Amino acid sequence: MLPVADAYDRRTLLATTIAAMLFPEADWRRDGESDAQFADRTRAMLQKRYLTPLRAAAMLPEVSAWPQFVYSSRQGPDRLGCVWAV
């Protein structure tokens, strides 16, 4: 899984914004902590408390699982030409 501070979040600030909503500065900011440190810490908490358990519960196939899917040239049961060999 990509870290929440990957290039996509640097462009959209989606994970940063969600983390800021879940962990407001008034309640979660530490004394002497910079804005960047606070954003990094809250994104890490977002990942640990919400994103990782959500991904585990969704049981999404990881990139390493893709070789388990066997594709054939004939039309399979789903009519997309693939046979699921999980």
> What DSSP assignment string belongs to 26-74?
HHHPPTT--HHHHHHHHHHHHIIIIIHHHHHHHTPPPGGGGGGEEE-SS
Beta-bridge mates of residue 83: 70
- Structure tokens given for 61: 């196939």
> Is residue 29 situated within a structural domain?
yes
> Is residue 43 situated within a structural domain?
yes
> Is residue 14 situated within a structural domain?
yes
For 71, the domain range is 7-84
pTM of the model: 0.62
| Secondary structure of residue 77 in the 3-state scheme | coil
Residue 32 has pLDDT above 60, yes or no: yes
> Is residue 77 situated within a structural domain?
yes
> Is residue 2 situated within a structural domain?
no
> Is residue 12 situated within a structural domain?
yes
Res 74: pLDDT:
55
> Is residue 68 situated within a structural domain?
yes
Q: With the CA atoms of 61, 65, 67 and 73 taken in that order, what torsion angle do they form, in degrees rounded to the nearest 10?
A: -20
Count of structural domains within the chain: 1
> Is residue 1 situated within a structural domain?
no
